Structure 1
Amino acid sequence: MALPQKKYYRQRAHSNPIADHCFDYPAHPDEYNWSNLYPALHGNSEVEFLDVGCGYGGLLVTLSPMYPKQLMLGLEIRVKVSDYVNDRIQALRVQHPEMYQNIAVLRTNAMKYLPNFFHKGQLQKMFFLYPDPHFKKAKHKWRIINKWLLSEYAYILAEQGIVYTITDVKDLHEWMVVHFEEHPLFERLSKGELESDPIIEKLYESTEEGQKVTRNNGDKYVAVFRRISDKWKD
């Protein structure tokens, strides 16, 4: 089974996350049948890594063999792009029967339905790689990182869970850093902590967008945050 070709799945880069779309979603996380996405799933395993706006699935494919015991899910709002990722995963599973069983993609709107799919404290890692910058000030409310959504991310993240962000837009990087640092349930990781994390280097080149930035000699800005305890510090 050959890997899909991106030229047959091209779609406009931007999608209005506020607009009404037709999505199926469960009323409660327990009502979703995950075996449809992970047919080799056994036991009560739950998704632990979540790539929000996964694009063409590069990060999922990169991390899958690194963390074979963790279920990973990519969320993508664009129809053709999510179709590509799904076809890519299916082809990889056929080519490598013992691999890539732990990754999947789901077309949904992460700004609306995350609590429908994930329990409180379920996720260990979340990724926001090259999110849409929505440059116009009037559209900043569409940015995937904002003070309201951060509380939702804190809800589905386990304590000590990690959020990874990278962008080539300095203004967006500063926006994300400010919002995370102002939120009481997140703290930024130190440079030393980043150096010891094997995932960090994968953020730069694993995605199509990251490779495009490299080709254009653009800058890349990384910021990583930890979900701290619900207990207020003295």
Structure 2
Amino acid sequence: MAGPPNKKQKREQYKNSREGGSTTELPKKKFYRQRAHANVFSDHDLVYPISPAHMNWASYYPAYIKPSDSKANPSTDNLAEDLRNQHLGRAAFPQLAQDVEVADIGCGFGGLLVALAPRLPNSLLLGMEIRTQVTEYVQERIKALRIQKSTEGLYRNAACLRANSMKFLPNFFKKAQLSKIFLCFPDPHFKARKHKARIVSTTLNSEYAYVVRPGGIVYTITDVEDLHLWMVGHFVKHLSFERVSETEQEADECVGVMRTETEEGQKVTRNNGQKFVALFRRLEDPPW
């Protein structure tokens, strides 16, 4: 006689019950839990486009397909297969009427993403998350919210994909494409030998400078003062960025959202912890 289903079986049963993407019920986080840390230097069997031109954004933002390409019907059922085809140069897909311009790197369970989407209705927002289960949760969350708010047309401008942005950010975004990047409560990697895995470094800041347009902003927040000082020091030393003044920072609507809407931010609030915020503006490139 078979016993009660174990944790893995319960997870599969729950996910099978949501297949089809037509439910208005938000996904339950307990079925998508995954360890907090992932080795960013591992392969992870990730699939990514060979260049931004090979990325099928229509699969993620079907409401923004150019009218001339509206007859196409991009499938969202097997996005991994779509990306594999693109990687091999086999895919032809419809184009969007506008580019993605806001990226939440390490978006976690999508709190910031879904909070910003209604506040930035004219921008396409993308969450990038390396953990498989967490990515799936955010994708299901957005699907349900799109259905709930279908009459208002909300959340069609938000999407999430699985990616290792420390390795493949320029594969997704062309030069000067983004207006905002959010780095919210990244892993602190306290040990000195782990500092190479931090999301802010001299090398990575050059990649952010490549994908962020002049005048664009990189937003950072953490509850670890040492990491805050690390990020400030590396951005201030980089010739493509300048720190935004505290007055301008506090006037930015996105800063308030970043402080209160992320899961980590809410956890820090519950624990009466500190939140260290710093914004950095992409400078104009000097004339040759």
- Normalising by structure 1, what TM-score? 0.98
Pairs within 5 Å for 1:42-53 = 42-43=65-66, 44-53=97-106
CA RMSD across the alignment? 1.1
| Cα distance in structure 1, aligned partners of 2:250 and 2:168 | 33
| Cα distance in structure 2, aligned partners of 1:47 and 1:19 | 27
Unaligned runs of 5+ in 1: none
| Cα distance in structure 2, aligned partners of 1:204 and 1:221 | 9
Partner residue of 1:29 out of 35, 52, 63 = 52
Aligned to 1:20: 43
Aligned to 2:275: 220
Aligned to 1:100: 155
Aligned length: 233
> In the alignment, does 2:108 pair up with 1:55?
yes
Aligned to 2:94: none
Unaligned runs of 5+ in 2: 1-23, 67-96
Q: How far did 1:17 drift?
A: 0.4
Q: Residue by residue, what CA displacement relative to the aligned partner does 1:170-206 show, whole Å, maximum 9, x if unpaired?
A: 0000000000000000000001111221111111111
Secondary structure of 2:253's aligned partner: coil
| Cα distance in structure 1, aligned partners of 2:184 and 2:287 | 30
Moved over 2 A (4+): none
Q: How far did 1:27 drift?
A: 1.2
* 1:7 counterpart letter in structure 2: K
* 1:164 counterpart letter in structure 2: Y
Identity %: 55
- Normalising by structure 2, what TM-score? 0.79
Aligned to 1:199: 254
Q: How far did 1:232 drift?
A: 6.4
Secondary structure of 1:124's aligned partner: strand
Q: How far did 1:42 drift?
A: 2.9
Aligned to 1:71: 124
* 1:172 counterpart letter in structure 2: L
User: Which structure's relative contact order is higher, taking Cα pairs within 8 Å and 6+ residues apart?
Assistant: 1
> In the alignment, does 2:199 pair up with 1:144?
yes
Aligned to 2:164: 109
